[in-house]
Amino acid sequence: MKAVVLAAGLGTRFRSEKPKVLHEILGKPMLWYILSTVKGGGIEDIAIVVGHGAQEVKETFGEDYAYFLQENPKGGTADAVLASVDWWRNDDDYLLIINGDSPLVSSETLKNMQRFLFMVEEYEKVKLGGVVLTSVLQDPTGYGRVLKEEGTDRIIKIVEEKDATAQERNIREVNGGVYILYIPYLLEALFKIKPSERTGELYLTDVIGYMTGKGYEVRSFMASDPTEIVGVNTRWELSFAENILRLKLIKYWAQRGVTFHIPETVWIEPDVSLERNVEIFPNVHLRGKTKIGRNAVIETGAVIEDSEVGESAVVEPYSVIRNSVVEEGARVGPHAHVRDGSRIGKGSHVGNFVEVKKSALGEGVRAKHLAYIGDAVLEDDVNIGAGVVTANYDGRKKHKTYIGRGAFIGSNSLLIAPIRVGNMSYVAGGSVVSKDVPDGSLAVERARLRIVEGKGRKLLEG
């Protein structure tokens, strides 16, 4: 079976330059979810009908899909399907058609729709015109209403809200915008239906009414979770859909042994993965391809993006970790910033107001307060005092710092890169180190301290 995704609409209600389907839900374009769902539903041949912002959509999703341009941006959903007609018209098969603004439909539901179709044909021995995904909503406003033969799942027609009578508007079963339709019947219907008198659009929903009128049976398949059919037509609905998806992801991980405190405040993206017994505190943001290992604790306000946090590591409050690895048992924060391909070795501790950029820290390194470590390699058991800075930039280029195993860098020292501090070397606090320090040496650079007795009081008392 092939699938056609409708993504050519103007998205007028979004008030946006950017195509609606590229607006993001948890860090991924809305259309990404639909494409994943379709692929997860076992369909590989996928076409996207594009219109408004066609180029941008193509650039975002690339060569894996066929693209068809809907010339008339106000043509309507059936006109959009027609834009792809030559791609499927000769198949003696069903076609999946799915709205590009229904990001919450699950792969499971698509599979169940296909199973349902198969079962009806197999056991009831009827050739179906198709199956439409529906749901019963508390508030059906804005959706097409599904009229059925009483007490059956046979659809009579779908009426768009704008065209519905007051009585039809009271129907709470709505069209979810996912259709599996038999191609020969669909083809016939598409060329027969007329544009809506009210809007001039050609409605895909009219195809259903046409088919059933011809005696081609179309059945409704009700989504097991009514939120799956949520259509995103406004930015507020985007927020709503994002919220549902976020809570679903959180629930998914909670069922796999992760604790979330105040889950309604936690942001988690679909490519994040969490091992058992992780504990997530409020206001945490987990982004991109982040992985959190077993027993790790992520404290309040931490932002972690495209990073790995190892087993039993602790990320203390308000730390930011990007494109980096925090190994087993390490501690980061509170208020630390680890970024750009850094690695914090096993059991190391990067404390408050410490920034680590593009640096590799070995095991048992301590940099507990107020430091900048950039473009550096720190071997095991290095101690970095408060206020230490690696001066990695000379105004033109970045340079590297190397600190050997067990070295001690005293507070407020400045290491001017490129520089190498040997194993078991000792840099005295407050030194500006501009030459390499051999293994086991002391480096101290500081003006002689003068003590003038009695002078202090004199200055203070005038």
| Site of interaction with Mg ion (CB under 5 A) | 101, 231, 233
**What are the distances in angstroms from CA 329 to CA 122, 143, 234, 313, 345?**
57, 52, 45, 4, 9
Quick check: 228 binds ligand UD1 (CB under 6 A)? Answer: no
Residue whose C-beta lies closest to Mg ion: 231
Q: Which CB sits closer to ligand UD1, 127 or 169?
A: 169
Residue whose C-alpha is closest to residue 371's, from 419, 417, 336, 323 = 336
**Least distance CB 199 / Mg ion (angstroms):** 14
User: Residue 208 binds which entry of Mg ion, ligand UD1, none, with Cβ cut-offs from 5 to 8 Å by kind?
Assistant: none
Question: Residue 459 is inside which H or E element, if any?
Answer: helix 455-461
How far is the C-alpha of 427 from the C-alpha of 221, rounded, in Å? 73
Q: How far is the CB of 189 from ligand UD1 (least distance, A)?
A: 14
Q: Which does 203 bind (CB under 5 to 8 A by kind): Mg ion, ligand UD1, none?
A: ligand UD1
414 binds, among Mg ion, ligand UD1, none (CB under 5 to 8 A by kind): none
Q: Select the binding partner of residue 281 from ligand UD1, Mg ion, none (C-beta < 5 to 8 A, by kind).
A: none
Rule CB under 6 A: choose which of 103, 144, 310, 347 binds ligand UD1: 144
Q: Exposed e or buried b for every residue in 369-400, given b needs 16+ CB within 10 A?
A: bbbbbbbbbbbbbbbbbbbbbbbbeeeeeebb
Q: Which does 7 bind (CB under 5 to 8 A by kind): ligand UD1, Mg ion, none?
A: ligand UD1
3-state secondary structure of 393: strand
Question: What is the nearest approach in angstroms of ligand UD1 to the Cβ of residue 177?
Answer: 4
Which of 72, 69, 73 lies closest to 54 in space, CA to CA? Answer: 69
Identify the CA nearest to 144 among candidates 110, 113, 168.
Answer: 168
Nearer to ligand UD1, 132 or 407 (CB): 132
> What phi, psi does 97 have (nearest 5°)?
-120, 130
CA distance linking residue 285 with residue 37, whole number of Å:
24
Site string for ligand UD1, 87-116 (x = CB under 6 A): ------------xxxx--------------
204 binds ligand UD1 (CB under 6 A): yes
The verdict on 160 binding ligand UD1 (CB under 6 A) reads yes
- Of 52, 285, 337, 369, which residue is the catalytic one? 369
Strands 24-25 and 28-29: antiparallel
**Closer of 181 and 336 to ligand UD1 (Cβ):** 181
Task: Specify whether 337 is catalytic.
Answer: no
Backbone dihedral region for residue 204 (phi beyond 0: left; psi -120 to 50: alpha; all else: beta): alpha
Tell me the two tokens of residue 205: 């929903």
2: three-class secondary structure by DSSP? strand
User: Contact letters (x/-) for ligand UD1, 170-199, by CB under 6 A?
Assistant: ----xxxx----------------------
What are the residue numbers of the active site?
369
Residues at the contact surface with ligand UD1, assessed by CB under 6 A: 6-9, 49, 70, 75-77, 79-80, 99-102, 143-144, 158, 160, 174-177, 203-205, 231, 233
